Amino acid sequence: MAGGGTAEAMKISDVFIVVGISILVGGFIMHAWVSSEQYNFEEAEQEIMEKSFVLFKNDEVEIEISAPQEHSVFVGIYSEGETLELDPDVESSGFVDGSVLVYTLSAKSSGEYLVFIQFDGNNGNKSNSSGEILIDVERSLLIDFIVYPIGAISLAFGIHKRKEEKSTETIDAEID
């Protein structure tokens, strides 16, 4: 140590416990943290937003778009040379004030997908507009959840090693 002291070496059981807990907490954060994207633009302008991600076969994408003012929206997905136009799950071609449109897609093949969302202001005046886009990917394979068994195994191994180390410690005692 810097002050001239000594520190005891970290035990392997403690390393496995710390790594296991870190992996489990990281997995919880990875799955619980779904952030939406905010957008701001002037209604007289056309605004296009793009987002790309990799999907496996049968993965589902849900796109939820909300806006406080009326807009027409076109949502498309580009994949492997073809463009798919998505229709909203409700019978509406645009927004009504304060409404939410939901679009879903099920991937027919594995690969990279590019989602583009095009906004057009309906009323034509130059007022600012803002809204929120939430894109959620539901995986058909549970490959994202592989971190939980790895973290649990590491934590269990660390706890087992800790018990094993404590049972083999020598005890200083005097017998009368």
* Cα 95 from Cα 47, distance rounded (Å): 15
pLDDT above 90 coverage of the chain, percent:
18
Taking a C-beta distance cutoff of 8 angstroms, is the pair 63, 111 a contact? no
- CATH (residue range 35-141): 2.60.120.680
- The mean per-residue pLDDT over the stretch 140-152 comes to 87
pLDDT at 47: 73
Distance, C-alpha 97 to centroid of its chain: 29
Question: Which one has a higher pLDDT value, 157 or 139?
Answer: 157
- The mean per-residue pLDDT over the stretch 9-26 comes to 92
Looking at this protein, which amino acid is placed at residue 67? A
This prediction has a pTM of 0.61
pLDDT at 43: 55
Nearest to 49 by CA among 134, 107, 111, 112: 134
* Cα 31 from Cα 158, distance rounded (Å): 25
pLDDT at 50: 85
129, pLDDT greater than 70: no
Q: What is the DSSP string of 23-51?
A: HHHHHHHHHH----EEEEEETTSEEEEEE
